[in-house]
Structure 1
Amino acid sequence: MNNLLIVGLGNPGTQYAKTRHNLGFMVADRLAGRFGTAFKDGFKGLWGEFRTDEKHFILKPMTYMNLSGQSVAPFMSFYKIEPENLIVIQDDLDMEFGRIKFRKDGSSGGHNGIRSVTELIGTDKFVRLKMGIGKSRSGGTVGHVLGKFENDADLEKFIELGTDAAEALIRNGLKSAMNTYNNKSVFDGENGQDKT
């Protein structure tokens, strides 16, 4: 498999830690831990590398969400990463909490981080690992995405599921990972959903 760049989206700063919008950071951190990757500063972000059969990269843009492309685009240019080898881990309002899905390309769906990456790399032909956070019960989107998860145990299971899916893609390729993980939920087989 070619060199992959796995990007976890989020906002820097302790006030945003463990918020719904920072799921990408959480999975990137867990993935880095699994592969023994140490982060260093560069490309307006924190990044590290690891090896399977090939060398791969993990990047957390430190630009704030709506400017994520300012970190991703120069990294891809420097390391000659093709768009089809970019995997972006994002939160998704349109899926219930606990569910994940790989998507090969398409619009940002209103996600500012995805919009920024698409604009600055000049294409939407890159893979996203979408992690459902559900819609706000009160209707306030900003407060919802910047709010914290209410159940740490469910969040922990969700981070683990997302990390498993990302690792499966790295080791086995996108098609296999999609077959195994698309529409999978931490609540599969349980009664009741949306335990954020």
Structure 2
Amino acid sequence: MIKVIAGLGNPGIQYRETRHNIGFMLIDSFKNSLKTGEIFRECNARVFSANLCRKKIRFIKPMTFMNLSGKAVACFVNKYNLLSEEVLVVFDDVALPFGEIRIREKGSAGGHNGLESIIESLGTDNFPRLRVGIFNGERPDLVSHVLSPFSEKERTYLDKVVALTGDAVRAIVCKGIDFAQKNFNKRNFIAEIQQNQEVKD
């Protein structure tokens, strides 16, 4: 059962709108849509609690900077005696197109420094993760790409992509990983948004 949802990103206003911070954006969207407690600091993270499907969930944004995310996540695991499987990690993936996500029960870091930090700090890769695509079809320098803002065109879809990603998170918490994988891993959110817009027009 999921007890902590960790959205990864970098603190600081200069990083707020960057691709690398889409995990933070997801946590912020839950803060805006759920009846929650106050945000507080714990384990070097910004935290709030809320109920999803009658389950108390801690939503966290590590303030360690991306490459040290594992320190904050491990602190929660140790402090509350959690299993690694009870932590869901949401983060950006430059290998996936913008508008697609992938849900996995466990696995390697795949070159993502934040995820690598969590695996190292927990001593295991046995925790669920949700990868959010940020690839825009070009092949620029990796660091420049992940730290760049979304394009004007992408921003027209961004809120809805984050909302649909939130639906996937709810599915994981409420109905389990298998259900969420079957219902979200093969979807193209951009195509769905465009199709829905055409129907409305």
Q: TM-score, normalised by structure 2?
A: 0.89
The residue aligned with 1:13 is 12
Q: 1:44 maps to what in 2?
A: 44
- Helix, strand or coil at the partner of 1:69: helix
* Distance (Å, rounded) in 2 between the aligned partners of 1:63 and 1:3: 22
Structure 1 residue 128 corresponds to structure 2 residue 134: no
Looking at secondary structure, tell me which structure has more helix per residue.
2
Percent of aligned positions that are identical? 37
C-alpha deviation, 1:40, in angstroms: 0.8
Q: Are residues 1:155 and 2:132 paired?
A: no
Question: Which residue in 2 is equivalent to 1:55?
Answer: 56
1:153-184 per-residue CA deviation (whole Å, 9 max, x = no partner) reads 11112111111111121222211111111132
Per the alignment, residue 114 of structure 1 pairs with 115
Unaligned runs of 5+ in 2: 196-201
The 3 A distance-change label for structure 1 pair 22 and 163 is same
Q: CA RMSD in A?
A: 1.6
1-side partners of 2:25 and 2:116: how far apart? 20
Q: Classify 1:148/1:188 alpha carbon distance in 2 versus 1 (closer, same or farther; 3 Å).
A: same
Moved over 6 A (4+): none
Shift of 1:21: 0.2
With over 3 angstroms needed to count, the CA separation of the structure-2 counterparts of 1:66 and 1:107, relative to structure 1, is same
Aligned to 1:78: 79
Mapping 1:166-177, distance limit 5 Å: 166-177=169-180
Between 1:84-93 and 1:134-143, the stretch displaced more is 134-143
Instruction: Confirm or deny that 1:146 pairs with 2:147.
Output: yes
Q: Distance in 1 between matches of 2:117 and 2:43?
A: 15
The CA distance in 2 between the partners of 1:3 and 1:49, in whole Å, is 13
Aligned amino acid, residue 49 of structure 1: S
Aligned pair count? 190
Q: Is the 8 A contact 1:70 1:120 kept in 2?
A: yes
